[in-house]
């Protein structure tokens, strides 16, 4: 059995939050995650829209009103939300605290908020009590399991099957976190929206470890298109940015008939190859495709040929 890392032992295991937009901006948008779930005013969440059987990041929203079982987001992205859009958040087990602390904090907030109200819906009280009981009961298991991904908290609209179907997207988010950690500028290589949602969904480690500490890994490989590891930081950044531009230019030609999100994935993979310098590029590409929100591409022969073609074109262009 794999050893549990120190971060997870210290309560760094993550709990995913998943909800959906219940009403559009025209109807005063609401999402089905609220105070009883631990979503409070000021919290930042990531928003995604599902189109053509995949997800496109919209950016981040900030909670401006938090009610027991729902909340209202604000900001420019909130104004674009549509009913059914996905909203994700993240907490560590340590941040959630003990079940009793979580329950007591929620009840205290409700006492304060309801002190000036005449009454509260019995149905909503029952719904809140059920959600609270579920979270408190699961909290003990999250602590004992000592898993890097400890659990999940779902809005009422997200079924267990719905959450399971999100696994490819969550896997790609984690890979984007890894890519960012090795110095890939997501706002340039992917999109500003991917950079924003990845930052919001990156948990703060419970303890500082070698893997969680900021890394300044220099690209180093016998590839003429890669930065020289002896160059200055500014020179390395400029060379990496130039490489990203070349990759995007070539992927727009080679992958012209692919979805934009598939091209973004290819851009990330090609950029990461230049930094990680894997010994077996075809195998590495297949693994990365399998860990994306398009796992079926790992068995797509055309994509397995198209990504190396992009790399070939980029390397040829860099040698000219």
Q: In the chain, pLDDT over 90 holds for what percent of residues? A: 68
pTM, two decimal places: 0.88
For residue range 170-202, list pLDDT tens digits in order: 999 999 999 999 999 999 999 999 999 999 999
C-beta of residue 227 within 8 angstroms of C-beta of residue 236: yes
Please report the pLDDT score of residue 125 as a whole number. 76
Span 156-160, average pLDDT: 95
3-state DSSP helix/strand/coil % of the chain, to nearest 5: 50, 15, 30
Domain ranges of the chain: 6-200, 233-319
Please report which helix (H) or strand (E) contains residue 19, including its range: strand 14-23
Distance CA 12, CA 222 (A): 37
Q: In the chain, pLDDT over 70 holds for what percent of residues? A: 85
How long, in residues, is the chain? Answer: 320
Distance CA 49, CA 86 (A): 6
**Band of residue 118 on the pLDDT scale cut at 50, 70, 90:** low
For residue range 40-63, list pLDDT tens digits in order: 999 999 999 999 999 999 999 999
C-beta of residue 218 within 8 angstroms of C-beta of residue 277: no
Question: Long-range contacts for 128-133 (Cβ within 8 Å, ≥24 apart)?
Answer: 128/36, 128/68, 128/69, 131/36, 131/37, 131/69, 132/36, 132/102, 132/103, 132/106
């Amino acid at each position: 059995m794999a050893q549990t890392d120190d971060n997870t032992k210290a309560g760094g295991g993550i709990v995913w939050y998943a909800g959906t937009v219940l009403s559009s901006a025209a109807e005063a948008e609401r999402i089905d995650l609220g105070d009883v779930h631990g979503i409070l005013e000021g919290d930042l969440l990531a928003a995604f829209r599902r189109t053509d059987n995949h997800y496109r990041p919209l950016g981040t929203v900030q909670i401006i009103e938090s009610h027991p079982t729902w909340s209202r987001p604000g900001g420019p992205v909130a104004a674009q939300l549509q009913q059914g859009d996905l909203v994700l958040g993240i907490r560590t087990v340590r941040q959630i605290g003990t079940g009793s602390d979580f329950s007591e904090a929620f009840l205290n907030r409700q006492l304060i908020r309801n002190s000036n109200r005449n009454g509260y819906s019995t149905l909503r009280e029952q719904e809140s009590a059920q959600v609270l009981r579920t979270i408190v009961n699961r909290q003990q298991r999250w602590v004992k399991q000592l898993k890097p991904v400890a659990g999940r908290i779902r809005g009422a609209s997200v079924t267990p099957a719905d959450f399971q179907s999100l696994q490819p997207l969550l896997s790609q988010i984690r890979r984007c976190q890894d890519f960012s950690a090795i110095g890939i500028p997501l706002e340039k290589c992917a999109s500003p929206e991917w950079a924003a949602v990845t930052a919001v969904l990156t948990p703060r480690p419970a303890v500082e470890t070698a893997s969680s500490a900021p890394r300044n890994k220099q690209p180093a490989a016998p590839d003429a298109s890669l930065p020289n590891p002896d160059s200055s930081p500014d020179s390395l950044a400029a060379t990496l940015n130039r490489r990203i531009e070349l990759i995007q230019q070539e992927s727009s030609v080679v992958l012209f008939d692919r979805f934009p999100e598939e091209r973004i994935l290819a851009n990330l993979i090609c950029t990461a190859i230049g930094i990680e310098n894997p010994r077996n590029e075809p195998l590495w590409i297949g693994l990365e495709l399998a860990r994306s929100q398009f796992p079926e591409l790992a068995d797509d022969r055309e994509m397995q040929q198209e990504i190396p073609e992009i790399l070939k074109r980029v390397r040829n262009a860099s040698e000219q």
